[in-house]
Amino acid sequence: MHVFIMGSTGFLGSHLASYLHGQGHTLSLLVRSESKKGMFPSDCEVVSGDPLQPGPWQEHAAKADVVINLVGKNIFARWTEQEKEQIYTTRIEATRMAVQAIAQSDAPSPALINANAVGYYDPHHKDVATESAPPGENFLSRVCIDWQSEALKAQKHGARVVILRIAPPLSREGGALASMLTPFRLGLGGRLGSGKQPFPWIHLLDFLRAVEFLAGNSDVSGPVNICAPGLVTNAEFTKALGRALRRPAFLPVPSTALKLALGELSQMLLQAPRVKPDVLVQNGFDFRFPYLDRALQDILGG
């Protein structure tokens, strides 16, 4: 399978490129700077270009079997109006450029596997969110709605479109878990707010395997929850992390302190949705790490 990856130098993109290369797929990787070419194996095609602007890179994308778009500014920063505009614009514009690339292709069109987030869902929804659950009304939900809408325009050009509603992938090398390790190892870890809010998650390896599974499965299209089936709350997650690190996890971060430190971003941490991966399960995807304790043991070597 020939895969074109947008966002190939980011945390998820670089891991995905390494994984898919190891699985024997042909890769074309979009980078903004020539200096990034050394990140990848020599037999990968590395294409220079700006994912937010039209360019010759789109001709390379149009020739692939699958375009995977993971571009988007990191959301883990205080959400000023400027920051929110960049979070929104990078996702929408990169997706628009991916659709433009697919429009240039000869039939059959490449499939589009487009990033999104479980932040799409209403955290106040009383039931566990499957892919058909309604969206929320907060900032992140509105971003996810427009992001998805932009990606689905590729269907007009004959493309199969998969929307990856991604839960935080767990890895010691980056993402949410990596940022927690130092305070927890110092005995300063604990739940956020009440700790009763859900904590959707997925092991990084299962994220990579799920993306490959979806890229190669022509029967699946539309939204797909990329999360583990083992549901936990924030308090349960912090206790499990404390056990894995053999450190106490009893110093809670009060909601008021989190709101003062992070502003609007704190809503995402204090009000997460409960999510389950119905589409993956129904299509026979086999999770290596369906439950949290085993996932943390694998990641942390416990």
57 is a domain residue: yes
pLDDT surpasses 60 at 258:
no
CA dist 177 → 37, 139, 140, 162, 256 (Å): 28, 23, 20, 26, 22
- Decide: 67 and 48 in contact? Cβ < 8 Å: no
Summary count for the chain: helices (H), strands (E)? 11, 9
CA dist 188 and 191 (Å) reads: 10
Which DSSP letter does residue 157 get?
Answer: G
Q: Give the three-class secondary structure for 224.
A: strand
236 is a domain residue: no
Q: Which amino acid is at 215?
A: A
pLDDT tens digits for range 238-254: 888 888 888 877 667 66
190 is a domain residue: no
Domain of residue 118, residue span: 2-169+203-228+275-288
pLDDT tens digits for range 194-203: 888 899 999 9
pLDDT surpasses 80 at 263:
no
Q: Give the three-class secondary structure for 120.
A: helix
pLDDT tens digits for range 222-236: 999 999 999 999 989
For the chain, strand residue ranges (E) read 2-6, 26-31, 45-48, 66-69, 111-117, 161-166, 169-170, 202-203, 222-226
pTM of the complete model: 0.94
Q: Residues 119-138: what's their mean pLDDT?
A: 93
96 is a domain residue: yes
155 is a domain residue: yes
pLDDT of residue 251: 66
Q: Give the three-class secondary structure for 222.
A: strand
pLDDT tens digits for range 12-31: 999 999 999 999 999 999 99
- Decide: 29 and 19 in contact? Cβ < 8 Å: no
CA dist 72 and 88 (Å) reads: 8
pLDDT band at 265 (very low <50, low <70, confident <90, very high): low
Region label for 72, one of left (φ > 0), alpha (ψ between -120 and 50) or beta (otherwise): left
Q: Give me the number of domains the chain comprises.
A: 1
pLDDT of residue 256: 72
Mean pLDDT of the chain: 91
Q: What is the CATH number of the domain that holds 115?
A: 3.40.50.720
pLDDT surpasses 60 at 4:
yes
90 is a domain residue: yes
State the residue for tokens 């240039």: 104
- DSSP string covering 47-115: EE--TTS--THHHHHHTSSEEEE-------S---HHHHHHHHHHHHHHHHHHHHHHHTSPSSPPEEEEE
pLDDT tens digits for range 281-290: 999 999 999 9
pLDDT band at 192 (very low <50, low <70, confident <90, very high): confident
Smallest Cα–Cα separation from 129: which of 266, 270, 291, 271?
A: 271
Q: Token digits for 183?
A: 């305070």
Percentage of the chain modeled with pLDDT above 90: 71
